[in-house]
Structure 1
Amino acid sequence: MDFKDKVVVITGGSQGIGRAIALSFARAKAKVIIMDINKELAEKVQDEITKEGFDAKVYKLDVSNAEETKKTIDEITAEYGKIDVLINNAGIVDTKRFVDSSEKDWDRMININLKGVFNTCSAVFPQMIARKYGKIINIASVAGKRGGGIFGNTLYAASKAGVIGMTKGLAREGGPYGINANAICPGPTNTPMLDDFTGEKRENFLNTIPLRRFADPEDVANVALFLASDMAKHITGEITDVDGGIMLD
């Protein structure tokens, strides 16, 4: 796929799925902008991209801060003239049980995982409406469909269910203006989040997946590339599982 001259903004692009998405779009010749609270880690991804001869820039951003998010989006727009693709990947997970969770835990989860998506979309949506073009891809989770469990706790599941609902709303409102909004729901993915699953525990976990493997971050990135491409120009409001078949039931 060729994304030459396309400006792609990725939140949480410093590691895991976000890193894979950033590298994939850069290799497809997009101008990649990584927005991440960990600037130092994001700059390592930027170095990977530039060493391969592609274009990338990093902005430090806490997506839960609405004022900071709008300011950063405005700076990007001023420099590049547009934002073609927005990929909301920034997020956190907490494996506490619901009964052990506090209001502070809830506020942090919602502020980053859900309000963060609201903040970036609020900043980008008007310019996409004005251009009558835009692609929004939100990284949700199968936890948002299943209610958590082994894939995330109840608070995490609630935040990701909210992302799914927001994606569908954005698709309805953005459709008349040529804006596509879709979400990807990864299942267990080979990122640091799975480091605790070793030995027999890991094997038992794998046996719950029909394909008998965890996703690689690149599996999710490939779907993001497709949804951002012209091949998916008539797809909007879809919630695509990348889970090895977990959601078959």
Structure 2
Amino acid sequence: MDHKVALITGGATGIGKQTAIQLAEKGCNVVINYRNSALEAETLANELNRRYGTKNIEVQGDVANSSDCERMVSKAMEVFQKIDILVHNAGPYIQERKPLTEYEMDEWNYLLQGNLTSAFYLAKLVIPSMRKQKWGRIITMGFDRVETAPGWIYRSAFAAAKTGLASLTRTIAIEEAKNGITANMVSPGDIKSEWKEKTIADAVSYMKSAPERRREGTGEDIARTIAFLADEKSDLITGCILSATGGMDVLGKVFREND
């Protein structure tokens, strides 16, 4: 993927950071979007520049804001003149568990804008240039079994947004197939916060230190899945929702009131 340009939303930390590393390692120039993590984004861009010799920049913006999305894409186009790969990793999440009736209007709207409408903003901005070059990759993020439109107790806004995003991703795949653009969704397993920036080697080492431990999912696991879908030879794979859960029943907990 030498000289391809990838825009990664929420790319400064966590799974986004591991994705930036994975794509830069494969020769991509990376646009690292962040909302608040300015230092982390700048540090990562400089690290990728040194380690892989690619050209990487950081750009601030809240994906829930259409004008921010326009500015992010404009900056990327100014520097690189194209965006080949869009990894829509950013998406707000409210840790507090509460039923639908306890959501404030602003909370509900922000979760839908940040997780669903933001994908529309960005896709609308990047697809025209992808069409011109007859090549593009759009990768979104879901949750286990999102394609079945499951209910998720106390997570109504997030679940509704991601379910809508699954349908939108598949619609883009159908509409843009003739233009050489693929669109797929990756659904991570239950990856704990402290494992989002860790590697597969970290997980294997952790498991070996106590064999009764299960294999933890890591940011690298998801980043490798994203990189596979972004690869030039993955052009036949589109409209897919690919789970990376390690065989765990991740969704089982969403029906239980105590999880």
Q: 2:202 maps to which residue?
A: none
**Does residue 61 of the first structure (1) align with residue 65 of the second (2)?**
no
Letter of the structure 1 residue corresponding to residue 64 of structure 2: S
Letter of the structure 1 residue corresponding to residue 98 of structure 2: R
Q: Which runs of 5+ in 2 are unaligned?
A: 197-212, 253-259
SS in 2 for 1:235: coil
SS in 2 for 1:5: coil
With 127-136 and 94-103 compared, the bigger mean Cα shift is at 94-103
Deviation at 1:247, TM superposition (A): 5.4
- Match 2:19 to one of 21, 27, 41: 21
Q: 1:124 maps to which residue?
A: 126
Q: CA RMSD in A?
A: 2.2
SS in 1 for 2:92: coil
Deviation at 1:130, TM superposition (A): 2.0
Q: 1:147 maps to which residue?
A: 151
Q: Note closer, same or farther for the CA distance 1:112–1:212 as it changes in structure 2 (3 Å cut).
A: same
Letter of the structure 1 residue corresponding to residue 151 of structure 2: G
Give TM-score scaled by structure 1 length: 0.84
Letter of the structure 1 residue corresponding to residue 135 of structure 2: Y
Letter of the structure 2 residue corresponding to residue 92 of structure 1: P
Q: Structure 2: how far apart are the matches of 1:64 and 1:231?
A: 32
Q: Which runs of 5+ in 1 are unaligned?
A: 195-210
**What does the per-residue CA deviation read over 1:37-88, in whole Å, with 9 as the maximum and x for residues that have no partner?**
1222222222332331433110111111212212321231232121111100
Q: How many percent of aligned residue pairs carry the same amino acid?
A: 29
Q: 2:236 maps to which residue?
A: 234
Kept in 2, the 8 Å contact 1:190–1:217? The answer is no
Q: Structure 2: how far apart are the matches of 1:83 and 1:47?
A: 20
Q: Note closer, same or farther for the CA distance 1:192–1:157 as it changes in structure 2 (3 Å cut).
A: farther
Kept in 2, the 8 Å contact 1:17–1:191? The answer is no
SS in 1 for 2:139: strand
Q: 1:44 maps to which residue?
A: 43
Letter of the structure 2 residue corresponding to residue 21 of structure 1: T
Matches within 5 A, 1:131-210: 131-142=133-144, 144=146, 145=148, 146-149=150-153, 153-192=155-194
Total equivalences in the alignment:
229
Q: 2:98 maps to which residue?
A: 97
SS in 2 for 1:97: coil
Kept in 2, the 8 Å contact 1:143–1:156? The answer is no
Deviation at 1:143, TM superposition (A): 6.7
SS in 1 for 2:243: strand
Letter of the structure 2 residue corresponding to residue 13 of structure 1: G
Q: 1:12 maps to which residue?
A: 10
Q: Structure 2: how far apart are the matches of 1:193 and 1:52?
A: 22
Q: Note closer, same or farther for the CA distance 1:193–1:119 as it changes in structure 2 (3 Å cut).
A: farther
Q: Note closer, same or farther for the CA distance 1:84–1:159 as it changes in structure 2 (3 Å cut).
A: same
Deviation at 1:124, TM superposition (A): 0.3
Deviation at 1:28, TM superposition (A): 1.2
Q: Structure 1: how far apart are the matches of 2:191 and 2:228?
A: 19
SS in 2 for 1:246: coil
Give TM-score scaled by structure 2 length: 0.81
Q: Note closer, same or farther for the CA distance 1:11–1:172 as it changes in structure 2 (3 Å cut).
A: same
Kept in 2, the 8 Å contact 1:11–1:88? The answer is yes
With 170-179 and 66-75 compared, the bigger mean Cα shift is at 66-75
Kept in 1, the 8 Å contact 2:27–2:52? The answer is no
Q: Structure 2: how far apart are the matches of 1:246 and 1:103?
A: 34
SS in 2 for 1:87: strand
